[in-house]
Each structure stands twice: as C-alpha cells, then as structure tokens.
Amino acid sequence: MDFEPFIISFKLAALTAFILFCIALPLAWYLSQSKSRAKPFLEAVTALPIVLPPSVLGFYILWALSYNSPIGAFFEDTFGIKLVFSFTGLVVASCFYSLPFMVQPLQNGFESINQNMLAASYIAGKSKIQTIFQVALPNMKPAVMTAIIITFAHTVGEFGVVLMVGGSIPGETKVASVAIYEMVETMDYTSAHIYSAVMVGISFVVLLSVYIFNAHQTRRFGL
C-alpha cells in the first residue's frame, strides 16, 4: 500500500491552510469593517471559486501560470520555479480554489464580535493589529477553527483543479483524490476501496473534532 498520495494531499492542505490564513485574515477583517461601495464587488470575487466549475478555475490558473503568460515566465526566469505540473503550482491553485472557505468563516467571526468591544480596545490605546490578535481572534475561536479546518478539508477533497494544474506526477502532484480516480480508471477496485475508505474516515474525524470543539467553546464561554 502506497501512502504517498495521502502525504502529498495533507502536505498540500496544511500549506494551503497556512498561507490562506495569512492572506484571508486582513481581507476578512477589511470586509467585516468596511462600509465601502467596493465591498459587495470584493465579496463576489472572493466567493467566485464556490460557484465556478473546477475546470474553469483550472483553465484560468493553468493559462496564468504557464510559461506563455508573463506571471509564469517571470517565476521561471527569476526564481527558476515552474508553476504548472509542480507542487508549487498546486499550492497556488489550491489557494485560489479554497479562498472563500477561509475568508467567509473569518468574516462572519469578525462580524459577530461586539463592535463596542473593538471600540473599547481602540479607546484603550491599542492599534488595529493588537486589537485583532488580542481581542478579536481570541473571542472567535470557533470561527478560526472552522475556517482552518474547512479549508484544510476542502483542499484535501479537491480534484478537478489539481488534475488540471498538477497532472498526476507520482511523488510530486499525485494527490489522494487523483490516485483514486486513476485506480478506478485502471479497474483496481481493491485499492480504490481502501483509499476511499481512508478518505471518508479521516474527513469524518476532522469534521467531528471541529463540531466537538465548537460545542465545547459555546458551553464554556457562551460565544
């Protein structure tokens, strides 16, 4: 039994969740506090990956990251990084694909916080950054937890975009979902069964732990 596809899947998901948290935090904060006219526009763009077929997203990312586009050429010429059919490319693609799953729970979390609490922190002389990290985030732990875990789980579960942008290079871009697809294609049903069962089991445990954590937080702090 070859576990490499799982390891790649989880490595990809963990990296994506980490990078997206850093990107989505300021974006979600801006969206939660903004009354600007640009806000609905930004929200719509952020939500696009939810509704777009993975093939559309995959096609655009492929087109943007390939050597024929300025972005792809820049990365390959300057850093020597090939963005398509590589693990790095997969991470970039996953960040686009999972963006709404990180932004929306965080935005909801920021919006659910008593705005007077934030005002009290400003009046206490604290900057926005201090307020976000010392007041806002600790009071929305369930939202943070949900954002990270759902992003992680969603990235593990992606298939279309990964296949288009990464292909299926063993040890590099062949993730679990793609591996299962190939097993079914080659009629290796035994392996497909084992792989699929492992995926179901892990996904269930991950989701269960989120819900248990959130229920515990609600009981403890009445959040």
Partner 1 sequence: MINIDITKELHGANGAMQLVFQAAIKKGEFVALSGKSGSGKTTLLRILAGLEKADGTISVEQKEWLHADKSLPPQKREIGFVFQDYALFDNMTIEQNLLYVAKDTKLANQLLEITELSSMKKRYPHALSGGQKQRVSICRALMKRPKILLLDEPLSALDPAMRTKLQNELLLLHKEFGTTTVMVSHDPSEIYRLANRVIVLQNGKIINDGSPKEILLKTQGSQKFSFEGELLDIKKVDVIYIAIVAIGQQLVEVVVSSQEAKNLQVGTNITLSTKAFSPIITQI
Regarding 80 and contact with partner 1 (CB under 8 A), the answer is no
In this chain, which of 68, 78, 116, 190 binds partner 1, going by CB under 8 A? Answer: 116
Q: Which is nearer to partner 1, 94 or 121 (CB)?
A: 121
The CB-of-27 to partner 1 minimum distance in angstroms stands at 23
- Side-chain half-sphere CA neighbours of 53 within 13 A: 4
Separation CA 18–CA 73 (nearest Å): 26
Separation CA 207–CA 107 (nearest Å): 20
Cα 76 versus chain centre, distance: 25
Separation CA 54–CA 218 (nearest Å): 35
Regarding 127 and contact with partner 1 (CB under 8 A), the answer is yes
In this chain, which of 63, 122, 133, 211 binds partner 1, going by CB under 8 A? Answer: 122
Q: Which two tokens stand for residue 86?
A: 């590589």
User: Residues with Cβ < 8 Å from 214, sequence gap 6 or more?
Assistant: 142, 145, 146
The CB-of-42 to partner 1 minimum distance in angstroms stands at 22
Regarding 26 and contact with partner 1 (CB under 8 A), the answer is no
Regarding 135 and contact with partner 1 (CB under 8 A), the answer is yes
Q: Which is nearer to partner 1, 55 or 127 (CB)?
A: 127
Question: Which parts of this chain interact with partner 1 (CB under 8 A)?
Answer: 114, 116-117, 119-127, 134-135, 138-139, 221-223
